[in-house]
Amino acid sequence: MNRAGRIIRLATLGAATVLPWLPSASAAERATPRAAVAGATVESVIALARRLSPELVAAAFDAEASRHAVDAAGALADPTVTFEAWDVNARQGIGQRRLAIEQEFKLWGRQGLERDVARAEANVATHKARATAADLIARIKTVHAEYIAANEAVSLSLQLKRRVTELQELLEARYGSTAVDQQDVIRGRIEVATADVDIVRRQGDLKAAAARLNALVGRPALAILATPVGFRRIKPGITIATIQAKARALNPALAASTGEVGAATGAKALTNLNYYPNLTLGARYVQRPSGGDSGEFLVGFKLPLQFAAKDAEQRAAASRLGAAHARSDAARLRLDGEVAETWFGLEATRKAIRIHETRQLPQARQSVETARSGFQAGSTDLSIVFEAERRLRTVHLDLLKLKVEEQTKHAELERMAGGSL
């Protein structure tokens, strides 16, 4: 089996085992047919990533490992069994044979606390797996938007090539091989060549975006992607307060930091029990050569005399608990700030898009139409026509960049909010 096949097989096995620990798919993702070629919509790509991405599988395996660690937490240590031979000499052989077993028992609620700490750590691992999934989905949404923009940029370049070629053919028909206005003919040929170069560059950008998208999903870079149908529609009217409230409740990274506080609290409680020893119980069977076998029983415990070390452990646990609280508070404040920053950036981008669509784009189109009409009438220079065409293409490309930025910022807000908005 080749390397790609092994990766897909491992991802499939891991997904079947641990994907229940990852965030559930949205309604749009569940409605995406599996048989369809991914790439047309971002939902189809996300649905594929949930099944194939090794990154998601690795995070989910980490969460699964932490969950299994709960079963081992608080367990008693293995008992100690000893065999002894007493009074051994060359004349009489073995005087006594002794068989003993000892078991240490955890007291003072230590077992329950250890299980609580393990459960808290398992919850942290689960939230970190969710954070990994949310981060990957946000990156997929961003790269898919770049894939859409690259595809539309290719279409724009092809349209420009067609319009420039029409002008070149008109010039060739008008002037032919005469020496009159040959500069316009040469200028037209240069513009056609420039359009060809732009098409090649845009097609390269499209292939690069497809390769990045396939890598995020967990597929070979040259795997087929469907032609995108357009940018994802963004729901308007979502307030910053709504997003911040949802982020505080559902953000997986914030939930993980809160879980770390719980784990540190349990660890601090465990260090408080260091002054209370565990109890060791044992029994011994004694076999004598003259008969009269007997048994012995023992009770033992360790004296907690190393107070300096135990005090240091308590202070260290208290410091770790304080650090966990501080990290949780910092994560909450940072999350509120990042939501606000991204939301204001999204609003500014939306306003810029509206200005481009309602003011710049219509004016650029009118400029092209006016220049072409004037050139056909003989009142406008050819350079003005080409300049108007380039200006229109620049406005289109700037608008695509703004739309990608809008999709990126919205994806970031959804990542911070812990789900779709």
How far apart, in Å, are the Cα atoms of 70 and each of 50, 82, 114, 115, 119?
Answer: 26, 30, 9, 6, 6
Please identify which residue in the block is written with the tokens 């650029």: 364
Q: How close are the terminal C-alpha atoms of the chain, in Å?
A: 42
Confidence bin at 4 (pLDDT 50/70/90): very low
Task: Average the pLDDT over 346-365 and give the result.
Answer: 93
Residue-level pLDDT at 405 = 94
For the cut 70, the answer to whether the pLDDT of residue 51 exceeds it is: yes
How confident is the model over 188-197, as pLDDT tens digits?
A: 888 889 889 9
Instruction: Report the candidate in 46, 54, 47, 43 with the shortest Cα–Cα distance to residue 12.
Output: 54
For the cut 60, the answer to whether the pLDDT of residue 234 exceeds it is: yes
Kindly report whether the global pTM for this prediction surpasses the value 0.75. yes
Domains of the chain (ranges; CATH) run 3-417 (1.20.1600.10)
Residue-level pLDDT at 28 = 46
Confidence bin at 360 (pLDDT 50/70/90): very high
Contact 421, 414 (CB under 8 A): yes
Residue-level pLDDT at 104 = 87
> Where does 149-306 show beta strands of DSSP type E?
279-287, 294-301
Please identify which residue in the block is written with the tokens 């007493």: 86
For residues 182 and 210, what is the distance between their CA atoms, to the nearest angstrom?
42
Residue-level pLDDT at 72 = 81
Task: Average the pLDDT over 121-137 and give the result.
Answer: 90
Residue-level pLDDT at 157 = 92
Confidence bin at 355 (pLDDT 50/70/90): very high
Confidence bin at 404 (pLDDT 50/70/90): very high
Instruction: Report the candidate in 27, 16, 26, 99 with the shortest Cα–Cα distance to residue 61.
Output: 16
Which amino acid type is present at position 43? E
Share of the chain above pLDDT 70, in %: 88
Instruction: Report the candidate in 17, 27, 26 with the shortest Cα–Cα distance to residue 56.
Output: 17
Task: Average the pLDDT over 99-114 and give the result.
Answer: 86
Please identify which residue in the block is written with the tokens 């990154």: 55
Confidence bin at 337 (pLDDT 50/70/90): very high
